[in-house]
């Protein structure tokens, strides 16, 4: 199966003059934590000095050299770079995104400038038409803005009505095993079956909510699955379903492809993005898991329309968390792109990806102490409250949006669950907090952390 993301590969931006490659590449590189290079930086001067034919040779050599670098970069390629067979061949090992733009918009952006190939409108439009098919043949994905490029680079298809195109959007042509809980199957199974057609090999019902994330459920799925390595597991549902199915996909036959299709707000802004999968054990949440990047992630905002208000609130907690990390308001697509960028930057959770645990050390402890009967969103809201207090920050953004209330759980159980958390080190506990310049990971004394936990329990 072809790799449909920029994980540990160069991300190359292509497109016509005026598409926004030069304007976008530096921001994309910064968000992905990669070096960024505008390969076309001095094109106008080069054309004036060497002529168009001479410039094309220089452009080809420069672009192929850049694409041969080992460290993953973000490259903005010249508008005509992909007309070179050598460049097209070099792009095979990169993930290439077409920054799409209409001829009208491109002309409005570049007219009156100093570009040698944008002096006359008819010639400009003729060149646009000539290159259009080449761009679309070369590109692995298409986007119109920075967030769209990042989503595409993470293998995320963010599309209204994506469920109806499930059969064509699940990569490869092999069989599909569909995993979902009874409620989701009752609502969406007919549409999923119609979309997948003959590719649907089996349907597997799992418990709803955190009950799905149990080793016994995973073991049952291992016994039921009849997929070989050419098959794909599709997880249709909330974060618990995608966590379970992703874990099973990571371990069945030592790894098969999987596609999460989140049907909850939590899933669409957080849980289904980035390939972190896990199940729970009695001692705590997500303590057995694997990193297994999805073959593709399908986010269909239309699937949220049937959600009750209680479920929307769960997603709002993760949205507020992401806004605190980003330092700005975000819509659902922007929140998904923020997480996608962090996960691409740190797929194995060894650095910046830990930022995404803001509030979650406390939240997971409360969930475990409540035997997972406390909803994830309510637990995260409380965890964010504690994180802001320890950061010396105003709690109003969390209080106003989520109104978290202390919960009745056993304090001792909550503390033991927190001490078992993966982020504990010696006599201190490492927490994600908010510093002056954004998220930081700090070690705090156990006594300070326990006092913060106690404020969340009544």
Could you identify the residue written with the tokens 């962090």? 342
> Would you list the DSSP string of 143-193?
ESSHHHHHHHHTTEEE-TTGGGGHHHHSSSSS-EEEEEEHHHHHHHHHHHH
How many of the other CB atoms lie within 10 Å of CB of 202?
A: 15
Give the per-residue pLDDT at 53.
Answer: 81
Q: How far apart are CA 409 and CA 393, in angstroms?
A: 26
Give the per-residue pLDDT at 310.
Answer: 75
For the chain, 458 residues long, the average pLDDT of each consecutive 10-residue run is: 86 95 96 94 75 84 94 95 95 97 94 85 94 96 97 97 95 95 96 96 96 96 95 96 98 97 93 94 87 97 84 84 95 96 95 94 93 90 97 95 94 92 70 93 93 96
Task: Specify whether the CB–CB gap between 146 and 24 falls below 8 A.
Answer: yes
Contacts of 178 (CB under 8 A, 6+ apart): 189, 192, 196, 200, 202, 203, 204, 234, 236
Residues 337-387 have pLDDT tens digits of: 999 999 999 999 999 999 999 999 999 999 999 988 898 889 999 999 999
Contacts of 132 (CB under 8 A, 6+ apart): 16
Q: How far apart are CA 323 and CA 264, in angstroms?
A: 18
H helix or E strand, kind and range, residue 428: strand 428-435
Report the SS3 class of residue 350.
coil
Give the per-residue pLDDT at 425.
Answer: 57
Domains contained in the chain, CATH given: 11-145 (3.40.50.300), 157-307 (3.40.50.1970), 346-454 (1.20.1090.10)
Residues 111-156 have pLDDT tens digits of: 988 888 888 999 999 999 999 999 999 999 999 999 999 999 999 9
How many of the other CB atoms lie within 10 Å of CB of 349?
A: 16
Q: Exposed e or buried b for every residue in 84-118, given b needs 16+ CB within 10 A?
A: beebeebbeebbbbbbbbebeebbebbeeeebebb
């Amino acid at each position: 199966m072809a790799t449909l993301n920029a994980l540990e590969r160069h991300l190359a931006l292509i497109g016509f003059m005026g598409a926004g490659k030069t304007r976008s590449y530096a921001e994309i590189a910064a968000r992905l934590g990669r070096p960024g290079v505008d390969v076309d930086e001095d094109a106008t001067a080069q054309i004036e000095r060497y002529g168009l034919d001479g410039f094309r040779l220089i452009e080809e050599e420069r672009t192929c050299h850049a694409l041969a670098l080992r460290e993953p970069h973000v490259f903005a390629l010249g508008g005509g770079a992909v007309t070179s067979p050598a460049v097209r061949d070099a792009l095979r090992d990169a993930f290439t995104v077409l920054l799409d733009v209409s001829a009208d918009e491109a002309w409005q952006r570049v007219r009156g400038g100093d570009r040698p190939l944008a002096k006359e409108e008819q010639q400009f439009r003729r060149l646009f038409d000539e290159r259009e098919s080449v761009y679309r043949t070369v590109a692995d994905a298409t986007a119109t803005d920075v967030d769209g490029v990042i989503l595409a680079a993470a293998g995320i298809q963010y599309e209204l009505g994506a469920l109806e195109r499930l059969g064509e959007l699940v990569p490869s042509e092999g069989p599909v095993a569909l995993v979902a809980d009874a409620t989701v199957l009752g609502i969406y199974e007919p549409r999923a079956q119609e979309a997948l057609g003959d590719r649907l090999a089996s349907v597997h019902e799992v418990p709803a909510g955190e009950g799905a994330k149990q080793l016994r459920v995973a073991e049952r799925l291992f016994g039921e699955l009849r997929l070989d390595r050419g098959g794909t597991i599709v997880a249709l549902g909330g974060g618990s379903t995608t966590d379970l199915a992703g874990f099973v996909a990571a371990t069945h036959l030592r790894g098969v492809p999987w596609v999460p299709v989140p049907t909850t707000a939590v899933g669409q802004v957080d849980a289904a993005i980035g390939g972190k999968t896990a199940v729970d054990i009695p001692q705590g949440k997500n303590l057995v898991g694997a990193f297994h990047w999805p073959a593709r992630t399908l986010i269909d905002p239309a699937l949220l329309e049937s959600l009750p208000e209680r479920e929307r609130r769960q997603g709002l907690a993760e949205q507020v968390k992401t806004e605190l990390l980003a330092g700005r308001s975000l819509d659902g697509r922007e929140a998904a792109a923020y997480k996608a960028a962090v996960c691409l930057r740190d797929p194995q959770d060894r650095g910046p990806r830990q930022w995404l645990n803001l509030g979650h050390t406390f939240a997971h402890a409360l969930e475990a102490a409540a035997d997972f009967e406390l909803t994830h969103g309510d637990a995260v809201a409380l965890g964010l409250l504690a994180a802001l207090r320890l950061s010396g920050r105003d709690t109003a953004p969390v209080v106003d949006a989520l109104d978290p209330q202390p919960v009745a759980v056993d304090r001792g159980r909550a503390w033991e669950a927190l001490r078992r958390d993966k982020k504990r080190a010696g006599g201190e506990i490492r927490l994600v907090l908010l510093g002056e310049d954004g998220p930081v990971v700090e070690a705090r004394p156990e006594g300070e952390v326990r006092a913060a936990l106690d404020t969340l329990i009544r």
